[in-house]
Structure 1
Amino acid sequence: MDEIKKFFSEKNEVNGISDFEIKQTGDYLEIVKAFARITYQSLYIIDYEKKSFEYVSENPLFLCGLSPEEVRDLGYAFYFRNVLNEDQELLLKINEVGFEFYDKLPFEERKMYTISYDFHIVNDKKNVILINHKLTPMFLTQNGKIWKAMCIVSLSSTNSAGNISITKENSDIIWKYNLDENRWIKEEKKKLSQRELEIISLYASGLTINEIASKIFVSADTVKFHRRKLFEKIGVNNITEALAYAKNNKLL
């Protein structure tokens, strides 16, 4: 329990949920379950008052060979069981800097932010998998603390743990945390041209270079030229990474 307590910041201590706060939830879990049925990603709900997982979807990626009920019952102990030791320290750091960032936000904006980061989990076959984890608030207490949060888990498109970033809904700004300098760096999201968006959307549809060229009435070399410029602009090496970037930044 002492280890698990490290995941919970004093800045977000949630105690004594009021009737008013309970009313805001309604039957929200039914909506979460419906979303889980139609997405390929894993998702779960954290309850910061109970310091536990309230719901865990059936997608096997995050389960590591366990049942959803077993992961839910483990709660934060799941991380100590299935996350690499070095990445457990990373998660504690993310928890610390994330809540410090969040604590400075205006109450009325707090639900608009999402934090994203990558870490390794070990499944039941002892395979190490790098996953991307996104967390966003669902319900707040009357004094602005996160009561419940939704977490979305998918395969990472990067090659290493970390990659901590925070985005705000309907904003072109992204905050990236530099672990070496221990500070947040504010950047503007890369904006794609109409042609670049068109090409990456067609790639996402499964078309080949020649099929894309035929569809937009250009040569295959022109498609390759725009693809190369796209890779340079967003700092990726291949189309898989480009598609992941587009997905993570809601360009598709």
Structure 2
Amino acid sequence: MADINSFFSLKNTIGNLTDNDINQTANYLEAIEAFTRTTYKSIYVIDYEVKGFEYVSDNPLFLCGNSAAKVKEMGYGFYFKYVPEKDLELLLKINTIGFDFYEKIPLQERKDYSISYDFHLKNEEGKTILINQKLTPLFLTESGKIWKAICFVSLSTQQNSGNITIIKKDGAQKMTYDLTTDCWKSVKKIELSMREKEILQYSIRGYAINEISEKIYISPDTVKFHRKKLYEKLGVANIYEAISYATINKLL
């Protein structure tokens, strides 16, 4: 029977923190709180030393009807209450393979990688939603262990749980995990067509669909078609996420 400790790898046990470890975190939650006011996503911070949540935003998407303070208090017990059993097993699997992956990365690069995955949350009425979580290290100990990590929660654009992906911050490396063969597979870097780049560039400048169609001499429906295909290619839900993804991963 799994318990909360199952989420925490023995390979990432946090021992005594040094002064340098602690000094990294001075007032950092103020910046995270400010950021949460600018995004529709739910945000929380994991502290692997205390094995719980250090911060939970007020966005209700992740809370299943609870207050942010209540979810923070519940910590990883939240998952045991609100994640279906099959997906709970998936989360435990992701935890194991994720830490195993980070153990093989050079210390100086460990903060450059983020892991993304999808799973279901259920409310007390039994209704479920499929969400996506993207988790990236915030602070490492001097010995290279992940001490604190930040997680962004949004509605998934996929149809099923899983979709486990690790990506380097510059988009130079992307890996997906095949649950059937239990191994990581490299994914070729996404390349955008000239039309997709045009639509993104005009969208960045604030042009609406009708205005873009006039600029590039295609119908509004064709612009919508290209945007839909772009969202599918990037695994995003809207133009704002597409712009963010393309910018972060240097696709433009």
TM-score band, normalised by shorter chain: 0.7 to 0.9
C-alpha distance in structure 2 between counterparts of 1:197 and 1:123, whole Å: 40
Per the normalisation by structure 1, the TM-score is: 0.87
What SS does the corresponding residue of 1:15 show, helix, strand or coil? coil
Structure 2 SS opposite 1:6: helix
Distance in 2 separating the partners of 1:30 and 1:142: 23
What displacement does 1:127 show?
Answer: 2.1
What's 1:197 paired with? 197
Corresponding residue of 2:233: 234
For 1:83 and 1:74, the matched residues in 2 are separated by 14
Deviation, structure 1 residue 56: 0.3
Displacement after TM superposition at 1:118 (Å): 0.3
Q: Deviations over 1:155-192 (max 9, x none)?
A: 00111100000011113321000000100001122111
Provide the rounded CA distance (Å) in 2 between the counterparts of 1:33 and 1:228: 32
Hey, what's the Cα distance between the residues in 1 that align with 2:245 and 2:72?
A: 26
C-alpha contact 1:141 1:147 (8 A) present in aligned 2: yes
Q: Using a 3 Å threshold, how does the CA distance of structure 1 residues 222 and 159 change in structure 2: closer, same or farther?
A: closer
> Where does residue 140 of structure 2 map in the other structure?
140
Structure 1 residues 148-157 or 184-193, which shifts more? 184-193
- Which deviates the most, 125-134 or 188-197? 188-197
Q: Which residue of 2 aligns with 1:41?
A: 41
Q: Please say which of residues 116-125 and 42-51 is displaced more in the overlay.
A: 116-125
Give the 3 Å change call, closer, same or farther, for CA 165–133 of structure 1 in structure 2.
same
Instruction: Report if aligned partners of 1:42, 1:58 keep a CA contact under 8 Å in 2.
Output: yes
Q: Is the Cα contact below 8 Å between 2:42 and 2:59 reproduced in 1? A: yes
**Letter matched to residue 112 of structure 1:** D
For residues 225 and 33 of structure 1, the distance between their equivalents in structure 2, rounded to whole angstroms, comes to 35
Q: Equivalent residue for 1:107?
A: 107
Between the two proteins, the alignment pairs up a number of residues equal to 248
Q: CA RMSD in A?
A: 2.9
Q: Give the distance between the partners of 1:191 and 1:91, measured in 2 at CA.
A: 30
Query: In the alignment, is the contact (CA less than 8 A) between 1:52 and 1:76 conserved in 2?
Result: yes
Aligned equivalents of 1:206 and 1:160: distance in 2?
Answer: 33
Q: How does 1:119-198 map to 2 (within 5 A)?
A: 119-198=119-198
Deviates more, 1:166-175 or 1:4-13: 166-175
Matching residue of 1:31: 31
- Between 1:241-250 and 1:186-195, the stretch displaced more is 241-250
Matched residues in 2 for 1:228 and 1:67: separation? 36
CA distance in 2, matches of 1:233, 1:25: 37
Question: Residue 130 of structure 2 aligns to a residue in which SS?
Answer: strand
Q: Are 1:18 and 2:22 counterparts? A: no
Post-superposition shift, 1:19?
A: 2.0
CA distance in 2, matches of 1:232, 1:5: 37
Which blocks of at least 5 consecutive residues in structure 1 are unaligned? none
1:115-144 CA distances to partner (integer Å, 9 max, x unpaired)? Answer: 000000012443201000011000101110
1:220 Cα deviation from its structure 2 partner? 1.7
| Identity among equivalent pairs (%) | 47
Gaps of 5+ in 2: none
Amino acid at match of 2:126: K
Residues 36 and 244 of structure 1, relative CA distance in 2, 3 Å threshold: closer
Separation in 2, partners of 1:41, 1:242: 15
Once residues 228 and 122 of structure 2 are traced to their aligned partners in structure 1, the CA distance between those partners, rounded to angstroms, is 36
Shift of 1:212: 2.8
Counterpart contact for 1:157–1:241, Cα < 8 Å: no
CA distance in 2 between counterparts of 1:49 and 1:225 reads: 47
TM-score (norm 2): 0.87
Take 2:124 and 2:2, find their aligned partners in 1: how far apart are those partners? 26
Going from structure 1 to structure 2, the CA distance change for 1:206 and 1:161 (only over 3 Å counts) comes to: farther
Q: What is the DSSP-based 3-state SS (H/G/I as helix, E as strand, rest coil) of the residue aligned with 1:188?
A: coil
CA distance in 2 between counterparts of 1:150 and 1:68 reads 15
1-side partners of 2:186 and 2:27: how far apart? 37
